[in-house]
Amino acid sequence: MGQGRLSSLALLAIERTLVKSLEKTPSWFNMPPVNDSDVGLKTDLLTVNPTQLKRFGNIKVNPDPLVQRLSLYGNSSIIVPAFAFSPYTNVAITTLKVLRPIRPHQRVVFFSPSYLKNLAGLWKGRGLKVFRLSTGFMLINVALELCDHVHVYGFWPFGINLQQQDVPHHYFDNVGPKRGFHSMPKEFLNLLQFHSQGALTLHLQPCS
Report which of residues 169 and 22 the model is more confident about.
169
Report which of residues 72 and 173 the model is more confident about.
72
Q: Are 185 and 28 in contact (CB under 8 A)?
A: no
Q: Are 19 and 39 in contact (CB under 8 A)?
A: yes
Q: Enumerate the active-site residues.
A: 182
- What was the pLDDT predicted at 80? 86
Cα–chain center distance at 152: 11
Least confident of 80-89, 121-130, 141-150, 195-204: 80-89
Report which of residues 133 and 45 the model is more confident about.
133
Report which of residues 160 and 108 the model is more confident about.
108
Sequence ranges of the domains in the chain: 6-202
- What was the pLDDT predicted at 58? 93
27/13 Cα distance (integer angstroms): 8
* The one-letter amino acid at 49: N
CA distances from 163 to 87, 141, 173, 205 (A): 41, 28, 20, 9
192 CB-near residues (< 8 Å, 6+ apart): 202
- What was the pLDDT predicted at 182? 63
For 142-155, write each residue's pLDDT tens digit: 989 988 888 888 78
pLDDT over 80 at 203, yes or no? yes
pLDDT band at 114 (very low <50, low <70, confident <90, very high): very high
Q: What is the CA radius of gyration of the chain?
A: 17
Averaged over 12-31, what is the pLDDT? 43
78/88 Cα distance (integer angstroms): 15
DSSP assignment of 129-166: --SS--HHHHHHHHHHHHEEEEEEE----SSB-TTS-B
- What was the pLDDT predicted at 23? 44
CATH architecture of 6-202: Alpha-Beta Complex (3.90)
80/151 Cα distance (integer angstroms): 22
pTM score, whole prediction: 0.74
152 CB-near residues (< 8 Å, 6+ apart): 11, 12, 140, 191, 200, 201, 202, 203
For 57-77, write each residue's pLDDT tens digit: 999 999 999 999 888 888 888
